[in-house]
Amino acid sequence: MKQLPLPNPFGVSIFYLTEVDSTMRAARRDFGASPEHGLVISAGRQSAGRGRGSGRDWQAGQDEGLLCTIVFKKEAMKAPVSSVPIRAALAVSRLLKQQFQLSPLIKWPNDVLVEGRKICGILCESTSEYVYVGIGLNVLQDEFSSELRTPATSIFLQSGLRPEPVGLLPGLLSELQKLLMVVQLPMLVRPWLYRLDEEVTLLEGDPQLGRWVSGIITGVGESGELRLLQKSGKIRSLYSGE
């Protein structure tokens, strides 16, 4: 593990491993019970990167993507813990627009799409004191397996540019730092929300156990919950699902 000479607006270290089982596991395993707020563990490759839900993994070749976990102390954030995934997705979206002139959309609760294809996935886990934000952003890939559940894309495929994946961290962390202190989340997220004002059907809760819910997406709440207008005229809030 080496420390990268990259600026971190949180004022703490950014580490890099050539290969690891997962950056999430490394962050929880290698930094004890008291990691610093804003600590970053990145990797060139993950052998056991995970997606949301059972049986889903995150695949990327060596140094093809930005693979990282960022650790936040709950007491240092103004943001509700449940809103961290959507805030992270918004940070990625802003980065993609500012640096690459892409037009990303946030597919609630934890994906970022470009032209309907997945470019980033986010997985958050928490303990009593910390939130671990795992981010997998496709950067240099020029092709993807046809067996993926959702068609994928990358920064290279969308822009023709080949940025160094870890070189994106300072910009991403800067956006995250700002967004973790913001309280007007619904207004900020609304323009970036996939299928906004459209009727959708979602699985509420765990994808393996949840039930189907339908309604028109009207936005998100301060806690990151998705708000659906149902046929009854009532607004229903979903805190997890897909």
The per-residue pLDDT for range 164-223, each reduced to its tens digit, is 999 999 999 999 999 998 888 999 999 999 999 999 999 988 777 778 999 999 999 999
Return the top range by mean pLDDT from 37-46, 48-57, 137-146, 209-218.
37-46
Classify 81 as helix, strand or coil.
helix
**pLDDT confidence of residue 154:** 97
Q: Is 138 left (phi over 0), alpha (psi -120 to 50) or beta?
A: beta
**pLDDT confidence of residue 174:** 97
The count of domains in the chain is: 1
Answer yes or no: is 227 within a domain.
no
Answer yes or no: is 210 within a domain.
no
Answer yes or no: is 231 within a domain.
no
Alpha helices in the chain (DSSP H): 23-30, 84-100, 155-159, 169-179, 185-189
**pLDDT confidence of residue 57:** 55
**Are the C-beta atoms of residues 215 and 199 closer than 8 Å to each other?**
yes
Answer yes or no: is 114 within a domain.
yes
What CATH number does residue 67 fall under?
3.30.930.10
Answer yes or no: is 50 within a domain.
yes
Answer yes or no: is 70 within a domain.
yes
Answer yes or no: is 42 within a domain.
yes
Q: Decide the pairing of beta strands 14-17 and 40-43.
A: parallel
- Closest by Cα among 140, 134, 96, 99 to 115: 96
pTM as predicted = 0.93
**pLDDT confidence of residue 5:** 96
Per-residue pLDDT reduced to its tens digit, 81-116: 999 999 999 999 999 999 999 999 999 999 999 999
**pLDDT confidence of residue 237:** 95
**pLDDT confidence of residue 55:** 46
Per-residue pLDDT reduced to its tens digit, 133-172: 999 999 999 998 877 778 999 999 999 999 999 999 999 9
Inform me whether the pLDDT recorded for 64 exceeds 90: yes
Query: Which structural domain, as residue segments, surrounds residue 129?
Result: 2-184
pLDDT average, residue stretch 116-144:
95
Answer yes or no: is 220 within a domain.
no
Q: Residue 51's pLDDT band (boundaries 50, 70, 90)?
A: low
